[in-house]
Amino acid sequence: MEPMRRMTTSELAAEHLRTGLRSGRWGETLPGVARLAQDLDVSRHTLRTALRQLETEGVLAGRGLGRSRCITATGANISSQRPLRIAILRHDLRPTDNAQTAAIIFEIIHSLESAGHTAFFSKISQLQLRHDVRRIAKEMAKTPADAWIVVAGSRPLLELCANLPIPCLALYGRSDGLPLAGAGLDRIQAFRAVTRDLIKLGHRRIVHIVRATRREPVPGAPERAILEELAAHGLTTNEYNLPKWEETPAGFYKLLENLFLYSPPTALIVDETARFIATMEFLSRRGIKVPEQVSLVFPDDDPALAWCHHGIAHLHWDSKPLIRRVVRWVDAVRKGKPDRKIINYPAEFVPGGSIGPVWKG
């Protein structure tokens, strides 16, 4: 048996570059020598030796003095033929999202696995790490994955993802305006329709309850749409319309108690199924009737609520284009084609029996 030969530093650098090609880390060209040498922590001489090796293999091609090397069809083929490991970073490990969101995620997993990829949930969640971006980044770095799908990410987290070397896609979340691939919903016009309908019914004390990630550091576009529509109708807006609360069951119950203590809202818009059900339970215990005494709107599309006799006012959208968007993005990552488009699909407001005129009692 021949003794095992140790790889030289330039050979190790070349292998590192091959790994980057396999993961689809770069698009059509590599970064410059100075940048790559810094990233790999090697000298420029060592890096140039590694690059010449990949040129000999036909993986890279030079484009002249002072210009970065391009990835050849052979190099691109390295990534396009290999199945990827796709990690999914959830907002919460507990099943608090609505049934449609869960169904969409599992359909994405099924579609990716049918294409030969491996898709899996990460062991940590954003809420579990208290939205601490540094801690989340460390956990992501420990996870062997070729790309990430980040579900309902906060703005700071998605800003981080936009600058990571590993490809990331924001599924929902605060991705507007970032150079980051995204698939989500356009709920702005639907929220404006909700607010206008409630105002026509005489509502003036309208409260929208959402997580802190939707309020901070500034309200998201859909949340702003509600506040802007209220202001357009001459209504003063403040923290009452978009209240802060501790994101625990006890904190949510305390919020509801405080809201109905002095200036009870006449209309509530409550995100996520778990909190919407908790709201209905709270109102039932207090003997507050829906919609006679308070109107309720659910800004999601959980099919379970279709079992309510008079129907729940909610938002509706087609999930199929969103699922196809995620699968196409993974295919682009595998082929080494950069894709940083944010595509949002429209939602529509569906009135139901949970809204009505303001109570005159």
Confirm whether 1 is domain-assigned: no
Res 2 pLDDT > 50: no
Q: Which two tokens stand for residue 68?
A: 């970065």
57 and 104 co-located in one domain:
no
Contact 170, 229 (CB under 8 A): no
Reading phi first (left if > 0) and then psi (alpha if -120 to 50, else beta), residue 90 is in beta
Confirm whether 281 is domain-assigned: yes
Domain CATH code at residue 148:
3.40.50.2300
Res 206 pLDDT > 60: yes
Average pLDDT over residues 288-298: 96
Give me the amino acid identity at 3: P
Confirm whether 263 is domain-assigned: yes
Greatest mean pLDDT range, 4-8, 129-133, 197-201 = 197-201
Confirm whether 277 is domain-assigned: yes
Q: Which two tokens stand for residue 76?
A: 């691109």
Average pLDDT over residues 254-275: 94
Res 203 pLDDT > 90: yes
Of the ranges 46-60, 153-167, 244-258, 283-297, which one carries the lowest mean pLDDT score?
A: 46-60
338 and 304 co-located in one domain:
no
pLDDT grade for 303, boundaries at 50, 70 and 90: confident
Q: Which two tokens stand for residue 155?
A: 């703005």
Task: Please count the structural domains in the chain.
Answer: 3
Average pLDDT over residues 12-19: 82
* Averaged pLDDT of the chain: 88
For residue 152, give the nearest of 120, 104, 112, 111 by alpha carbon: 104
**Which strands make up the sheet holding 348-350, listed edge to edge?**
206-209, 267-270, 295-298, 313-316, 348-350
pLDDT grade for 27, boundaries at 50, 70 and 90: low
Tracing tokens 């109905």 back to the chain, one arrives at 260
Res 183 pLDDT > 90: yes
pLDDT, one tens digit per residue, over 36-60 is 888 888 888 888 898 888 888 787 8
pLDDT grade for 192, boundaries at 50, 70 and 90: very high
What is the pTM (predicted TM-score) of this model?
A: 0.74
Confirm whether 349 is domain-assigned: no
Average pLDDT over residues 16-31: 74
Confirm whether 29 is domain-assigned: yes
Integer angstrom CA distances of residue 117 from 86, 114, 214: 7, 7, 32
Contact 129, 135 (CB under 8 A): yes
307 and 328 co-located in one domain:
no
Res 4 pLDDT > 60: no
139 and 199 co-located in one domain:
no
116 and 60 co-located in one domain:
no
Sign of CA dihedral 204, 210, 214, 217: positive
Confirm whether 58 is domain-assigned: yes
The predicted structure's pLDDT at residue 74: 63
- Cα(61)–Cα(134) distance, rounded to whole angstroms? 37
Of the ranges 80-89, 163-172, 175-184, which one carries the lowest mean pLDDT score?
A: 80-89
Q: What angle do CA 328, 332, 337 make, to 5 degrees?
A: 150
Res 1 pLDDT > 50: no
Give me the amino acid identity at 268: L
The predicted structure's pLDDT at residue 161: 94
The predicted structure's pLDDT at residue 68: 76
- Cα(246)–Cα(212) distance, rounded to whole angstroms? 9
DSSP letter string, 59-107: SEE--STTSPPEEPHHHHHHHHTS--EEEEE-S-SSS-S-HHHHHHHHH
Res 235 pLDDT > 50: yes
Last residue of a domain, one of 55, 79, 103: 79
Confirm whether 359 is domain-assigned: no
pLDDT, one tens digit per residue, over 56-114 is 878 788 777 767 788 776 666 665 567 899 999 998 876 555 677 888 999 999 999 98
Domain that holds residue 20: 9-79
The predicted structure's pLDDT at residue 347: 95
pLDDT, one tens digit per residue, over 315-333 is 999 999 999 999 999 999 8
The predicted structure's pLDDT at residue 127: 85
pLDDT, one tens digit per residue, over 103-112 is 899 999 999 9
The predicted structure's pLDDT at residue 314: 95
Coil, strand or helix at 207: strand
